[in-house]
Structure 1
Amino acid sequence: MSSEKREPLPSGTRLDYYKVHKLIGSGGFSLIYLGEEDDSHDEVAIKEYMPKKFGGRDREGRLTFVNDEARDKFYRGLRLFFLEAKALAMLRHPNIVNVRNCFLDNDTAYLVMDYQPGKNLGRYIKRRKGGLSTRFLMTVFPPLLDALELIHNAQHLHLDIKPGNIHIRPGGRPLLLDFGAVYHLTSEGKKKAQVITPGFSPIEQYRGITKVGPWTDIYAIGASMRTCIEGRPPPTATERHAKDTMVPAVEAFGKHYPRHILEAIDRAMEVDPQKRIQSAALLLKALNRDPSRQRKTG
């Protein structure tokens, strides 16, 4: 089903305890609305599972599918979306978007979140053409790593971290968004990735052979940090795997940023998952390292 036929819900639509005001965003798997909660009158963001590849909605509001295979994929994805959304509703962290509710309606699923004013990091980088300051990096990414550690400790992976999924509230306070690709780790930890974002997804997400794990999200954080500096996404992991021509951050940006931060970015972006920084806590430690103190003591 083409994205043109993915009709958004009209303004005034009632969903559970909420009223839809207007469409404010869309992605490959969802439509996002600004809405209002009946009791509190709080503004909320309502995310509707509506993947443009598998299904759509006609003007009468009925779900439509190109064929039976698309219908099957839609409902398989719907089940995963709902189960993971319920699990995510249990996560509470100041830098993870707060999930208020999750419910089924209109033959699909809805995720209700706090609405937060601010700007999208992806658009901000584009507008500034990169060159974001050390202070900005250290305001945004340590809190995100703290949030990521909580997600990983709950046996989840985000698997779609990128500047477009990072929301910057006033004062630089970050929020990690869009858990549409979230994955619950099994004992094997293997997954054929559903979502690939060139430049931010590491090699194990493409191949589905190597294990995914916390280190998979770490690569995406490193790539997001590098994009803040460089102003464009890094080369894809498949290109780097074939022939890595990407200049290390310590060489490319050493005149403008502290060496220990650039080293941490390079270690987070190792092509080989085993050589990469393995956890959010370890990357946070590397970023917070005080080189001057180390020189004195070492």
Structure 2
Amino acid sequence: MSANQTDPMIGRLIDARYQVRSRIARGGMATVYLASDLRLERPVAVKIMHGHLADDENFKERFIQEARSAARLAHPNVVNVYDQGQDDESAYIVMEYLPGITLRELLHDHKVLTPEQATDILEAVLAGLAAAHRSGIVHRDLKPENVLLADDGRIKIGDFGLARAASANTATGAALLGTIAYLSPELVTRGIADTRSDIYALGIMLYEMLTGEQPYKGDQPMQIAYQHANDTVPMPSAVNPRVPAELDELVLWATARDPDQRPRDARAMLDHLFELQRGGVEPGATAINRTMVLPPAMAPVGPSGRDTAGQGPTGDTQILSGARHRTGPVLPAGSSNADALSRKATARRKRGVVWLVILLVLALGAGGTAWWFSTGPGAHASVPSISDASVANATSVLESRGFTVAKTRARTYDAVIPSGKVTGTKPRGGAVVGKGSTVTLIVSQGPRSLPLPDVVGSSESAAKSKLSSSFTLQQSNHRFDAAAKGTVLAISGKNSAGATVDLGSASTYREKRPITLTVSLGPVPDVSGKAFSDAIATLSEVGLKGVETSSEYSDSVSQGLVIRQGMAGDGPVVEGATVNLVVSKGPVPIEVPNVSGKTLRSAQTELEGLGLIASYPTCTNILCAVIDWKSTLKVSSMEPGAGTTAFKGDTVKLSYNQ
């Protein structure tokens, strides 16, 4: 199972803006992911600090310092920082995404770089580092892993995680920051760093680019640290004879053990590199009849501790220009002037022939070398980076650069690039290969169709866990439903035309396509029987708005209480929806009728018909025992009186004469 499939960050939406797509790299402090900025619709690199470091304030501060340091720099050779924040417990930095490789990967593939390639990379790194030094920032962790080579040819410095202000030169605790292979002597011995410490690390990188190896080796880090503190970096030409003297001297200048003997900062070293180029000495060329004068601080120190400026690999002084003082030949005794002149002329002719042969051999060698590496079998070229292009356009670009395009094509699934378009090449873009090499196009088959788990009815967290590794989860929709809160009610996606489709009955779905879950907010609260104010508060707590739409008389619900509720409009009930409330006005009022003069039975029937209770005493007259006195005797008075207001169930007392 791949790292992307097991990484819980894949598919996560950070800060409601950055959709994590895949993992790019993992380091000691953080992991870098490829993500999509949904707001600006562009790819970005998101660096997320490891969760176990979240409680360590020192690590957290160093992580945030990286964002602040890099954000202060605006330079073409420094990776741009767009944003910084914290999502849940994860601190993150949003950076410019550069498709390509690191210098470490380039060295791994090609071991040794040509002087021209090394100088190009050196110039770009120095330019970005000069901007940092000018802003008062020391990188403190320069190494090939932090030099990015973009597919479009851009070269940038990244990872300012150990950067600090140039004036803050005291190391933290007893630990030495940075990678041991590139630590300057003063960092090893005293734990301090300034701009010249970055220059030292850059000198080690230049040595590694020219030779394919680091100058110091050892089984333990302390062995390498000891060599940094006590030994002198050898000249690259001792390992690779093709390295020109100018680059030898540049390495020795940058890696001098004494910081005062190095360039004061990246700008000084870059200016000198420009001077070498303006002086007509291209990296890899042979210096003939020209004196190269180094700045006083550039005088390299040899292994013995002696100043070796102006000396060749053997330590013998080399005078490259200017007249050499010589005395005339001493004539043998007895020789005439004519004989001496004849011998001198013969010697000059012999020397002339020898020099002519030497020059012809050198010219033929230089011409042959130039042919070999420019158009001959030794010529190399960089494979252009091609992505999201048609097969015809990709073929045209490659053939215009002198490459042969293979008739057969590799195919791969791609969640982003449409089917039929080129996703890349073999060898990959940026690889340096022989001119005329065959390049195979890798063509997208579009996203894969993957099994779609049945998540309707499960919890939202369980559904996301099943879907996030294969598909792109969008912000969930929520609505009120009889199902328990957090239950997935529906799942939808997009078809090839971009229209929304229901995936409830689908068994497969395209990889990385968007998916939206509809999740229950639980049932709408029942507020019947509550006081109106309490009902409003209850609905507001869940994001609903209660409104009194009418009031009714009710014999069963007291005045001011909610009789019933209903939703305004049709469709799903979502947060912010309105709930219509019917409020009780209490029982229906009854006007007591005038039943005076009516028989008791008639009065009782009329009052009970209105919901009132008729009350009167039993007749005690002896005649009442033999007659229907309720139908005979008439009401003489009533309480309450006629015309008063009563309510259902109230009692009206009737009086009569016996």
TM bucket by the smaller chain?
A: 0.7 to 0.9
Could you tell me which residue of structure 2 aligns to residue 18 of structure 1?
A: 18
Deviations 1:147-194 (A, max 9, x none): 1111011111111111111111235421111111111233x6322465
- Name the amino acid aligned to 2:234: V
1:102 maps to 2:102:
no
Matches within 5 A, 1:186-201: 186=167, 189-192=169-172, 194-201=176-183
Could you tell me which residue of structure 2 aligns to residue 248 of structure 1?
A: 235
Matches within 5 A, 1:45-60: 45-50=45-50, 55=52
Task: Give 1:202 deviation, angstroms.
Answer: 1.0
Q: Is the alpha carbon distance of 1:76 and 1:240 closer, same or farther for their aligned partners in structure 2, counting shifts above 3 Å?
A: closer
Could you tell me which residue of structure 1 aligns to residue 151 of structure 2?
A: 170
Cα distance in 2, alignment partners of residues 285 and 223 from structure 1: 19
* Among 137, 140, 160, the residue aligned to 1:159: 140
Cα distance in 2, alignment partners of residues 269 and 19 from structure 1: 44
Task: Give 1:96 deviation, angstroms.
Answer: 0.5
CA contact (8 A) 2:69 2:137 kept: no
Task: Give 1:270 deviation, angstroms.
Answer: 1.4
Q: Is the alpha carbon distance of 1:250 and 1:230 closer, same or farther for their aligned partners in structure 2, counting shifts above 3 Å?
A: closer
Structural RMSD (CA): 2.5
Cα distance in 2, alignment partners of residues 121 and 191 from structure 1: 27
Q: Greater helix percent: which structure?
A: 1
**Structure 1 runs of 4+ with >4 Å offset:** 290-294
What SS class does the counterpart of residue 92 from structure 1 fall into?
coil
Q: Is the alpha carbon distance of 1:296 and 1:105 closer, same or farther for their aligned partners in structure 2, counting shifts above 3 Å?
A: same
- TM-score w.r.t. length of structure 2: 0.39
* Among 229, 238, 243, the residue aligned to 2:226: 238
Cα distance in 1, alignment partners of residues 69 and 108 from structure 2: 33
1:80 maps to 2:62:
yes
CA contact (8 A) 1:260 1:287 kept: no
Could you tell me which residue of structure 2 aligns to residue 259 of structure 1?
A: 245
Cα distance in 2, alignment partners of residues 84 and 115 from structure 1: 16
Q: Is the alpha carbon distance of 1:179 and 1:157 closer, same or farther for their aligned partners in structure 2, counting shifts above 3 Å?
A: same
Cα distance in 1, alignment partners of residues 146 and 243 from structure 2: 24
What SS class does the counterpart of residue 10 from structure 1 fall into?
coil
Could you tell me which residue of structure 1 aligns to residue 290 of structure 2?
A: 295
- Name the amino acid aligned to 1:262: D
Deviations 1:241-268 (A, max 9, x none): 2344x43225444x31221122111111
Could you tell me which residue of structure 1 aligns to residue 381 of structure 2?
A: none
CA contact (8 A) 1:261 1:286 kept: no
Matches within 5 A, 1:23-62: 23-50=23-50, 55=52
CA contact (8 A) 1:249 1:263 kept: no
What SS class does the counterpart of residue 86 from structure 1 fall into?
helix
- Name the amino acid aligned to 1:94: P
Could you tell me which residue of structure 2 aligns to residue 124 of structure 1?
A: 106
Matches within 5 A, 1:211-222: 211-222=192-203
CA contact (8 A) 1:96 1:177 kept: yes
Q: Is the alpha carbon distance of 1:252 and 1:285 closer, same or farther for their aligned partners in structure 2, counting shifts above 3 Å?
A: farther
- Name the amino acid aligned to 2:88: N
The structure with more radius of gyration: 2
CA contact (8 A) 1:250 1:263 kept: no
CA contact (8 A) 2:137 2:163 kept: yes
Cα distance in 2, alignment partners of residues 170 and 262 from structure 1: 30
Could you tell me which residue of structure 2 aligns to residue 185 of structure 1?
A: 166
CA contact (8 A) 1:196 1:206 kept: no
Structure 2 residue runs of 5 or longer lacking an equivalent are 217-223, 282-288, 293-320, 322-658
Could you tell me which residue of structure 1 aligns to residue 310 of structure 2?
A: none
CA contact (8 A) 2:84 2:94 kept: yes
Structure 1 residue runs of 5 or longer lacking an equivalent are 57-62, 64-70
- Name the amino acid aligned to 1:110: Y
Cα distance in 1, alignment partners of residues 280 and 69 from structure 2: 42
Identical aligned pairs, as a percentage? 25
Q: Is the alpha carbon distance of 1:87 and 1:167 closer, same or farther for their aligned partners in structure 2, counting shifts above 3 Å?
A: closer
1:133 maps to 2:114:
yes
Cα distance in 2, alignment partners of residues 229 and 171 from structure 1: 23
Q: Is the alpha carbon distance of 1:21 and 1:230 closer, same or farther for their aligned partners in structure 2, counting shifts above 3 Å?
A: same
CA contact (8 A) 2:29 2:50 kept: yes
Task: Tell which deviates more after alignment, 195-204 or 282-291.
Answer: 282-291
* Among 90, 95, 99, the residue aligned to 2:72: 90
CA contact (8 A) 1:101 1:111 kept: yes
Q: Is the alpha carbon distance of 1:43 and 1:171 closer, same or farther for their aligned partners in structure 2, counting shifts above 3 Å?
A: closer
Cα distance in 1, alignment partners of residues 231 and 62 from structure 2: 36
Deviations 1:92-135 (A, max 9, x none): 111101111111223232110111111111021022122x0122
Task: Give 1:29 deviation, angstroms.
Answer: 1.2
What SS class does the counterpart of residue 225 from structure 1 fall into?
helix
